[in-house]
A and B are shown apart, each in its own frame.
Chain A
Amino acid sequence: MKSLILSLFITQFIFCQDLTASAILDSMNRVMTPENVKSTIRQIITTSRGNEREFEYEMFSGSKGENVLLRYTKPNVVKGNAILMKNHSDDIWIYFQRTRRVRKLASSSKNQKVEGSDFSYEDFSSGDTWKEDYDNKRLLDEDDKYVLELAPKPDVSTSYGKMIVVIRKSDFYPDIIRYFDKNIVHEKTLTMEDIRNIEGYPTAMKMTMVNHLEDTKTRMEIVNSTYNISYPDDYFTERYLRE
């Protein structure tokens, strides 16, 4: 019996050691980037006067995160406003409900913060581009978690110099992502909590992005989420943004 347990342990150990960083990243991408998602998200930001402000918006993500649409539902001041991010945030438009006009953001905005939060547009839309855009390396495991280091490939447009992703061995879902700036200074940490299985996909119901350099924090809570959704062809278009 003892030898059986020992052999099982050794097999598990060898198996864990054998997984390459690329394989882990592939597995992570499979659970992280479903084809389509629709979520209702509550977000709390800190304003320039230091007050907390709460928003609620619906997030529609299609083509494995290549296209993302955020439509604000609360509060009244911004209700109806929407942000469309296409081609992994290379193209960004904003729709203002009060004036019923659409404005395009400069492509350089990709690396900038999404309205008052500590998330950048690229944090929303990375999808499965990590595999293409980053060189990956496996670091020493932390208990029952894999740790990967991702360094951007030359000529990739990103604001990060490095990322460290801590992934649960049980379901390949990341629960901590540490972002480092171009000077490899630890800039932000994204922590995912209350991870639930929704329609077969592990889903973090609470996410907190802490900006260590600016000492700010953005909290996001998923109110509800579904993966069983499909979008019409023109859903992620400037025209549909106005509707």
Chain B
Amino acid sequence: MRKRLLIFIGENAVNNTYLMSFVIIIMTLILGAMASRLQVSTSFTEMMPTGNAKAEEFEFILDEFNNASNIILLAEGEEHSLKDFALELKPRLEDLSHWVDRVDINIPVEFYQQHGLKLLKSNELKNFSSIYENPSLIPFLVNLNDSFEKEYQGDEALSTKRKELDAVRFLDGLEKFVEVQKLVFDGTPPINPGKVATDAILIGETYFMSPDHKLILIMIEPVFNMVDDFQIVTDAVDGIEKVIKDIALKYEVEAGLTGTLVLARDEMVAVESDSWRITTLALAGIFILFVASFRIWVSPLLAITAVIFGVIWAMGITSILVENLNMTTAMMGVILVGLGIDFSIHIISGYTEFRNAGTDALTSMISALVKSGPGIITGGLTTALAFLTMIISENRGMREFGLVAGFGIVATMIASLIVLPVLLALRERLLNKFKRTSVPKDISFKFLADIAFHIYNHSLIYGFSLIIITGIMLFEAYQIKIDYNYLNMEPVGLESIKLQDKLVDAFDLSTDFVVFTSTDLDEVRLLTEKSGELSSVGHTESISDYIPDDKDSALRFRMIRDIRRTLLSTPVQTSISEMDVQQFLSEMKRLEYNIIELQSLAYMGGQDRIYEKAALLVGVVDDTTLTGKISGLIESIDNRDIKSELTYFTNQFTPHFRESVIEMTNADPLDISLLPDDIRKRFVGNSGETMLISIYPKKNIWEDAKFLFQFTKDVESISSKATGLPPIYVELLRLMAIDGKNATMFAIVAVFLLLTLDFRNIFYTLFAMVPLIFGTIWMVGIMKITGLQLTMMNIMAIPLIIGIGIDDGVHVLHRYRIEKDIRTVFRSTGKAIFLTSMTTMLGFGSLWFATYRGLGSMGIALFIGVGTCFIISIVALPVLFRVHNKFIS
């Protein structure tokens, strides 16, 4: 049946070339039209199983809240330039309303001015209330120092990252407060010094500045997210970046973008820019190989044309099987080209061999198809079956990939068997038309036949050596290490990745975080508190940061009321005596001591950020060149007459401080409905009922997969609804590990059954599988020996090699069944599998030059794997034939 079909194709290709061409073109047009409807989706959630709770929750959150996927801008420069840059940038970006929903450059200042005190807990109010009770400058300093010197709570008070950051923020305000005083005493006061100093103390820095004030952070909330069409994301990120770079140039600051959306854009740009270079490199190699092997200039063109037809057919069929292509199914085209070329090589190899032996076109075509066809069909079907076993996968990405690649390979195989003979026949007709005839020449690979025959005759030594080497490789393979740093797969030098590190160092923020929702404010508060206790968590954001806790509201209300009463009844100091000047100096020295002690505790406690921030105020022990700002101020005013400047500053500071505290101690209620839009939109969903909790990891999750797993596990322990990129990615890896293992086992079993059905001989089946199994062991072993590690990308090479590596054995066994002669098999089919292996290795090997290193790691693994499967075919199969002939036959 199979033979009759192949003869039918061969006869019609040669005798009815134009009719066959017409039928092929019509079929291709129909399937091409169907293929054009396919869309690509790059969303992670598209890869998850249908109905997966995490994926559904994440998509719900993306719909409800804009800030679930944001773009982060980091700019570096002088403090005033950074702030001016941010002020100009905000309206310019918000004008791009088709891309940008909101730009946050600072904290909601007005909100803090009105409600700042209400957000403090009762114990915090108890500790700090005295600071607010007397607005006059010198009594304020006395109260501030008293508050510092209350019985220490130990380093635990600063031990959590949140508290450490709060302390840094307070020191930041103190730094500004001291700076204003210095300007006043130097005779160059800023505009409204009292207000600036008051805001510094009561609110702190309003912009999102790094502790050293050299970096500013700006959050851009886009109107699109990661599930949108990829082109929209790329265009928008490019557009936003252009505006930013233009304005940055004006203010002489260095600005760049990061975040998941930006990284996704960068990855795609890298892959696209790589693809041309890599494709050209691979095609050039394949072209040289074809011409040198077949001595036909147009042979690569014919092979590629047949493959292109095959891919169009495959895509057309895919449009019936799936709604759209996801990140894995989008790779199908590359795989089909790689495997389709192999089918073509077998046909061209057989055909040219017969033609060069002097047989006519029709006989050559039929002989080539009859001798290579069964191998192509079995090889194609085993590969397809290996991929089709993936449809048992739970994760949608792998399931669809298996389905699409399986049917795609069958389509490409059929296209190769039908289209290529027609193209070869067309070439013959053209040659005849121009009366050009080719001179017969021997183009078979005699050296392969010699090698195989030599091994056949020395099978004992080669067989033994093979087992020993495989044992060593297995030992090495077991010791291969896994690279848990996801960033090692990214292109080198990406700005968005460098900025991720800066973001963690300066702001303790990660671009990716866990989110979950609740409709109950008490639950939000509880989960926010619980997450703060987790060791892997940096900090948590939720609406509860802006809504006071009802638990001790009465107590807090009384305390705030008392502060207000005391403040209103305290007389305000307007004149400064000589004694006051001395007291001011003494309080400033006391403040310096308090900060030195805080700094010392921070050093002993390992709180680097507090230590570094305090160093800006009081210097450091070992560095005499660094004078702290408080120390500098004291030095500059000691032994100087500052009475008039101090009077001026007191009269500027005191009324502002008094008014601000009166405003802060208002009795207005504070609930969600009264929150400013900026805050509400960040934490309350579009429906008005759902509230968002965002939990940031304490370090970059992509640098250490073990930490990623720990962080995800920790957060899931407080809420099973936790979602976002980290949990989805972990879930995907888990599913891929289970599915990958199952699919690999099923693929091996399915391939075994199919080969048994095809060969109807258990020994031939086992022989055909030896190159695959030994080749895979060698692949991992060589990777370990050459210092390569398993990555999340190249681990996919293991199931892929099962589909690809089986072909060599299948073709050799099929030809051996027909010829029963080692020399003929390896001279002809050996050549074909050498060429198919070389083209596949060239294709995958060229990925090594990809700037996207994940692709490179997969390419090099497959390069090694295809090579080892070929070497084992050449070495092991002659040994097995000898064993079979001697002991079994």
**Which residues of A are in contact with B by a Cβ distance under 8 Å?**
45-51, 53, 55, 72, 76-78, 81, 92, 94, 96, 98-99, 101, 103-106, 108-109, 112-113, 115-116, 213-216
Contacts A48-B608, A98-B621: A115 and B597 contacting too (C-beta < 8 A)? no
Instruction: Say yes or no: B621 contacts A76, CB within 8 Å.
Output: yes
In the complex, which residues of chain B have a beta carbon less than 8 angstroms from the beta carbon of A94? 152, 601
Q: Is the CB of B156 within 8 A of A96?
A: no
| B151 and A115 contacting across the interface, CB-CB below 8 Å | no
- Contact of A76 with B608 at beta-carbon distance under 8 Å, contacts A103-B152, A113-B155 already known: no
For chain B, give the interface size range: 20 to 34
Q: For B607, give the chain A residue with the smallest CB separation.
A: A48
Does B151 contact A106, Cβ atoms closer than 8 Å? yes
Chain B CB within 10 A, most for which of A46, A99, A104: A99
Inter-chain contacts of A96 with B (CB < 8 A): 596-597, 600
Contact B161 A77 (CB under 8 A): no
Contacts of B164 in A (CB 8 A): 48
Out of A51, A104, A116, A216, name the residue touching B152 (CB < 8 Å).
A104
Contact A109 B606 (CB under 8 A): no
Please measure, in the bound complex, the distance between the C-alpha atom of A31 and the C-alpha atom of B608, giving whole angstroms.
Answer: 39
The contact of A115 among B505, B605, B608, B621, by CB within 8 Å, is: B605
Contact B603 A215 (CB under 8 A): no
Judge whether B604 and A113 touch: CB under 8 Å: no
Interface membership of B622, Cβ < 8 A: yes
Cross-chain contact B152 with A106 (CB below 8 angstroms): yes
CB contacts (< 8 Å) of A76 on chain B: these are 621-622
Task: Tell me, yes or no, whether B710 is within 8 Å of chain A by CB.
Answer: yes
Q: Is B889 an interface position by the 8 A CB rule?
A: no
Give A187 Cβ to nearest chain B Cβ, in Å: 11
What 14 additional pairs, Cβ within 8 angstroms, besides A45-B606, A76-B622, A109-B154? A48-B608, A49-B609, A55-B604, A77-B622, A81-B600, A105-B153, A106-B152, A106-B154, A109-B153, A112-B156, A115-B606, A116-B155, A116-B607, A215-B536
Closest to A81 in B: B600
Chain B contacts for A215, CB-based, 8 A = 535-536, 710
Instruction: Tell which of A45, A48, A49, A109 has the most Cβ of chain B within 10 Å.
Output: A48
- Secondary structure of the A side of the interface? mixed
CA distance A72 to B600 in the complex (A): 12
Query: Which residue of B is nearest A211, CB measured?
Result: B535
Do A112 and B154 touch across chains, with their CB atoms under 8 A apart? yes
Tell me, rounded to whole Å, the shortest Cβ–Cβ distance linking B149 to chain A.
7
Docked pose: A77 CA to B602 CA in angstroms: 11
Q: What CA separation (Å) do A96 and B699 show in the bound complex?
A: 32
Closest to B535 in A: A214
Q: Nearest residue in B to A121 (C-beta to C-beta)?
A: B154
By a CB distance below 8 angstroms, the chain A residues around B159 are 112-113
Known A103-B597, A105-B151, A214-B535; contact A47-B621, beta-carbon cutoff 8 A:
no
Tell me whether B620 is interfacial, beta carbon within 8 Å.
yes
B593 within 8 A of A: yes
A-contacting residues of B (Cβ < 8 Å)? 149, 151-156, 159, 161, 164, 505, 535-536, 593, 596-597, 600-601, 603-609, 620-622, 699, 710
Q: Would you give the shortest CB distance from B169 to chain A, in whole angstroms?
A: 15
Which of B153, B154, B593 lies in contact with A99, CB distance below 8 A?
Answer: B593
A200 to B609 Cα, complex, angstroms: 45
With A and B bound together, what is the CA distance between A103 and B598 in angstroms? 11
A109→B152 contact, CB < 8 A: yes
- Residues of chain B within 8 A (CB-CB) of A104 are 151-152
Expressed in whole angstroms, the Cα–Cα distance for A145 and B277 within the complex equals 66
- Contact yes or no, A103 B155, CB < 8 A: no
A50→B699 contact, CB < 8 A: yes
- Neighbouring A residues of B154 by C-beta, 8 Å: 92, 105-106, 108-109, 112
A116 CB contacts on chain B under 8 angstroms:
155, 604-607
Partner of A213 from the list B505, B535, B620, B699 (CB cut-off 8 Å) is B535
Given that A112-B155, A113-B156, A214-B535 are known contacts, is A101 also in contact with B604, CB under 8 Å in the complex? no
Query: By the criterion CB–CB under 8 Å, are A106 and B153 in contact?
Result: yes
Question: Could you tell me if B699 and A101 are in contact, using CB atoms closer than 8 angstroms?
Answer: no
- A47–B596 CB distance below 8 A: no
Q: How far is the CA of A65 from the CA of B607 in the complex (A)?
A: 29
Task: Give the CA-CA distance A2 to B576 in the complex, in Å.
Answer: 99
Q: Which one, B152, B505, B600, B710, contacts A77 given CB within 8 A? A: B600
A45–B604 CA distance with the chains assembled, in angstroms: 9
- Sample of 6 A–B contacts (CB below 8 Å): A48-B608, A55-B604, A103-B152, A109-B152, A116-B604, A213-B535
